[in-house]
């Protein structure tokens, strides 16, 4: 298991080691934080330089590898403040302070989605030249699409409002699409529209997804593509984190579809 008690496979370890090694050699990076490590790693202090902190999930959805389902890497880039004494305090920044964020989806093609706060842009790996090529500039999520993505195996553990929402989708001829790899599910939602949900449950009352290196980077991409992201109580990127592995509930996707969730599950008038 990893530091969070989750089952860890060999590819999780390898992915983490590769990213730590490659980013660790970059003089511009001061702090690295990974899903697989208990604490952030300080690479450079003060006068040694390092403008940035990079937080990442090295291999999201790794339990799907044996079945060739799309998995991916999620990352976010934050400013490093050399005047802050500890690595944990340095990386605990609101999502609204992100400089850049993105993910790489390893599927039928290798897709790289990136934002630096000026739109969400999609690239694909061209293996013939060994580079990522821009295939979609300023991607915009459709305002609505009757597709929802949630793990309905957890339905009985959802708060009543979310159970009501799922029942509403059944009555209104929505399609269900759930892969179990956040990168793959969010990528589909970004491209086609719809809504992705990971509500709190009885087992995980604070939610299961990690705020800093899963929910926040995906929220940055989603908002830059014209979508919305909320914890159910506030805009995801306004939450002030207290630790590297802090968890959060999450609802994100097309504005109209997120609005339906908030109206039914939380009583928020549109």
Question: CA 269 to CA 265: how far, in whole Å?
Answer: 11
Q: What pLDDT was estimated at residue 211?
A: 99
3-state secondary structure the chain: CCCCCCCCCHHHHHHHHHHHHHHHCCCCEEEEEECCCCCCEECCCHHHCCCEEEEEEEEECHHHHHHCCCEEEEEEEEECCCCCCCHHHHHCCCHHHCCEEEEEEECCCEEEEEECCCCEEEEEEECCCCEEEEEECCCCCCCCCCEEECCHHHHHHCCHHHHHHHHHHHHCCCEECCCCCHHHHHHHHHHHCCEEEECCCCCCCCCCEEHHHHHHHHHHHHHHCCCEEECCCCEHHHCCCCCCCCEECEEEECHHHHHHHHHHHHCCCC
Same fold, 10-136 and 147-266: no
Q: What pLDDT was estimated at residue 146?
A: 99
Hey, where are the domains in the chain?
A: 10-136, 147-266
What's the topology of domain 10-136?
A: Fructose-1,6-Bisphosphatase; Chain A, domain 1 (3.30.540)
Q: What pLDDT was estimated at residue 86?
A: 78
Query: 103: which strand partners?
Result: 74, 113
**Is-contact 57 203, C-beta < 8 A?**
no
What's the topology of domain 147-266?
A: D-Maltodextrin-Binding Protein; domain 2 (3.40.190)
Q: What pLDDT was estimated at residue 67?
A: 80
Q: What pLDDT was estimated at residue 7?
A: 67
Minimal CA–CA distance to 250: which of 81, 74, 84?
74
Q: What pLDDT was estimated at residue 83?
A: 81
Mean pLDDT (the chain) is 94
| Regions in the chain scoring below 70 on pLDDT | 1-7, 46-47, 270
Burial class (CB in 10 A: 0-12, 13-18, 19+), 179: middle
158 phi, psi to nearest 5 deg: -75, 150
Q: What pLDDT was estimated at residue 38?
A: 93
Summarised one tens digit per residue, pLDDT across range 4-51 is 666 678 899 999 999 999 999 999 999 999 999 999 998 987 667 789
Summarised one tens digit per residue, pLDDT across range 124-143 is 999 999 999 999 999 999 99
> Tokens in use for 91?
């990386």
């Amino acid at each position: 298991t990893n530091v969070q008690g989750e089952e860890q496979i060999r590819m999780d370890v390898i992915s983490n080691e590769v990213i730590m090694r490659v980013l660790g050699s970059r003089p511009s990076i001061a702090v690295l934080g990974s899903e697989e490590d208990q604490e952030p790693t300080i690479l450079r202090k003060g006068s040694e330089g390092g403008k940035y902190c990079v937080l990442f999930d090295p291999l999201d959805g790794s339990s799907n590898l044996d079945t060739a389902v799309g998995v991916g890497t999620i990352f976010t880039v934050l400013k490093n403040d050399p005047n802050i004494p500890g690595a944990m305090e340095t990386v605990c920044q609101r999502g609204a302070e992100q400089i850049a964020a993105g993910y790489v989806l390893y599927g039928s093609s290798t897709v790289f989605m990136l934002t630096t706060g000026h739109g969400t842009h999609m690239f694909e790996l061209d293996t013939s030249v060994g580079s990522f090529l821009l295939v979609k500039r300023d991607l915009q999520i459709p305002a609505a699409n009757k597709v929802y993505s949630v793990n309905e195996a957890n339905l009985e553990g959802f708060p009543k409002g979310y159970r009501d929402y799922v029942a509403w989708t059944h009555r209104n001829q929505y399609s269900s699409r759930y892969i179990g790899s956040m990168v793959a599910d969010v990528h589909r939602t970004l491209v086609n529209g719809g809504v992705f949900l990971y509500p709190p449950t009885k087992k995980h009352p604070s939610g299961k997804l990690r705020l800093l290196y899963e929910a926040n980077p995906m929220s940055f991409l989603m908002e830059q593509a014209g979508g919305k992201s909320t914890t159910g109580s506030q805009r995801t990127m306004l939450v002030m984190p207290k630790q590297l592995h802090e968890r959060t509930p999450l609802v994100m996707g097309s504005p109209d579809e997120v609005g339906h969730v908030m109206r039914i599950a939380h009583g928020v008038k549109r």
